[in-house]
Amino acid sequence: MKGDCRGTRSLCVDQGKLVHTKKNPLFKRLKENWQSINKTNFQIKRWLFLLYVEVN
């Protein structure tokens, strides 16, 4: 997948053309997957932090 995608805005720069990700179901799904992965990572980090606090 070529292109330069940067978070926050739902815009994706693809070979000099702006592709609006909201209109593209693939990008929408990709974005949702990333959000769920980030949520999971956050929960894991929080859990590890709480575990670390318990130990010390």
Question: Out of 2-11, 21-30, 47-56, which region has the weakest mean confidence (pLDDT)?
Answer: 2-11
Question: What is the C-alpha separation between 10 and 14, in angstroms, rounded?
Answer: 13
Structure tokens, 19? 């592709």
Question: What is the C-alpha separation between 38 and 26, in angstroms, rounded?
Answer: 18
**What average pLDDT score do residues 31-49 get?**
88
Question: What is the C-alpha separation between 34 and 2, in angstroms, rounded?
Answer: 18
Domain boundaries defined on the chain:
9-55
pLDDT over 70 at 50, yes or no: yes
- The residue ranking higher by pLDDT, 10 or 48, is 48
Q: Which residues make Cβ contacts (< 8 Å) with residue 15, sequence separation at least 6?
A: 2, 3
Yes or no: say if 10 and 21 are a contact pair by the CB < 8 Å rule.
yes
Q: What is the pLDDT of residues 16-34, one digit of tens each?
A: 555 555 566 777 788 888 8
